[in-house]
Amino acid sequence: MRHFPAVAAGATAVAACVTLSGLLAACGSASPSARPRLTVTVTVPASSPATSQVPQPSPTPGGPPACSTSALSASLGQPGVAAGSSYYPIQFTNTSGSACTLYGYPGVSFVTASGSQVGAAATEDPVYPRSLVTLTPGGTAHAELQLADAANYPSSACNPVAVSQLRVFPPGQTSAVYVSLSVTACTNASVPILSVQTVQPGSGNP
């Protein structure tokens, strides 16, 4: 039986281990192939602004301002009578030194001497559409007021009372002017006897 030297056997074993270790090290240290990076660009639209109520455009863009109550005087023109009603042009005159505008309906109601409202305020009569009326200094416009005769209604429904003045709010204003008018009105607000049209150019009288 043939014997190999111990040193040779040991050296062979060491060499095998070194070789195996090298292979394992090589396998452990080898990194996988680098994957290419994919860059995706996403365009996100700007978020829409919150919906909000957009103010309505002024009927006088770039033009004269609305007539304030302090810039106006009010009076009643010559009345007309027809079919159980009386008709009065409420006349607005520009007493200021600058042009101004009126647009839409005035607010009209009967009031007592102390200023308390009597009955219902005038309803809006849409016979004419709203239109912008420009008043130069000294110029006049009008709104036609219809007053139904209180005697047209049963006394128990009307609750009639004598009144002597109208309270008139020019269109878009919160301050009133007062006009003398002595008539019989209905105190019952469910019996409206006043109606008013939109402001129109001129005095309303022939």
Q: Is residue 188 part of a domain?
A: yes
Return the closest-CA partner of residue 181 out of 198, 195, 162.
Answer: 162
Q: Is residue 6 part of a domain?
A: no
Q: Is the dihedral of CA 53, 59, 65, 67 positive or negative?
A: negative
Q: Is residue 33 part of a domain?
A: no
Q: Is residue 76 part of a domain?
A: yes
Say which residues have a Cβ less than 8 Å from residue 167's Cβ, sequence separation at least 6: 107, 108, 109, 110, 111, 115, 117, 176, 177, 178
CATH code of residue 100: 2.60.40.10
Instruction: Work out how many domains the chain is built from and give that number.
Output: 1
Residue 162 structural domain: 69-201
pLDDT of amino acid 44: 42
Say which residues have a Cβ less than 8 Å from residue 163's Cβ, sequence separation at least 6: 110, 111, 112, 118, 181, 182, 183, 184, 185
Q: Is residue 81 part of a domain?
A: yes
Mean pLDDT by runs of 10 across the 206 residues of the chain is 42 40 42 46 42 41 90 97 95 98 98 94 97 98 98 96 97 97 96 97 92
Q: Is residue 185 part of a domain?
A: yes
The one-letter amino acid at 61 = P
pLDDT of amino acid 59: 58
Report which secondary-structure segment, H or E, holds 177. strand 177-186
